[in-house]
Amino acid sequence: MNVQQGQHQRLPCSEIASRAFTLGTAAVLPFYTLMVVAPQAELTKKLLSSSIPYMVLGVLYAYLLYLSWTPDTIRLMFASKYWLPELPGIAKMFSSEMTLASAWIHLLVVDLFAASFKQSCCAAEKAVPSGLRHAEPAVFSPTGQASFFP
């Protein structure tokens, strides 16, 4: 049976990883744009206080993590006799596009959270600097986090 007869073809893993990478990247852009262009706008405050982007990206992350998991994942992550991560095992694990895509989504979520947290803290103190400073922790994290502290 082919697709026209009702049978669905499954996307290759590299295509799923590529689409998830693009989707995740595009999903956070409106938030960063609002933080830079209109940091004090009610829409910005409302969107940044919502848990919806984290839930959506969290589901995407969990799906990618599920697809990237192999029987060797734990062994690669904790290869030493002390159950500590080792660089060669992590490097091998990240040679998979699916694992890279899941790590990218993970970073996007953490960075968005850091930037929105900084935005809400600065707004609460009524000392909101330029819009670029709100996105700085995410764009340059972890070095951007230093700009959060005086």
Cα distance between residue 50 and residue 28, in whole Å: 13
Please give the average per-residue pLDDT across 41-56, as a whole number: 91
All structural domains of the chain with their residue ranges: 13-29+51-113
pLDDT for 135 equals 58
Between 144 and 114, the higher pLDDT residue: 114
Q: What is this structure's pTM?
A: 0.77
Please give the average per-residue pLDDT across 85-109, as a whole number: 91
Rounded mean pLDDT of the chain? Answer: 81
Tell me if 137 sits within 8 A of 145, measured CB to CB. yes
Q: 140: which DSSP letter?
A: S
Q: CA torsion sign, 95 to 89 to 145 to 38?
A: positive
Residue with structure tokens 């790590």? 103
**Which whole-number Å values give the CA distances from 16 to 12, 55, 99, in the listed order?**
6, 19, 11
Please give the average per-residue pLDDT across 40-56, as a whole number: 91
The answer, yes or no, to whether residue 2 has pLDDT greater than 50, is no
pLDDT for 6 equals 47
The answer, yes or no, to whether residue 68 has pLDDT greater than 60, is yes
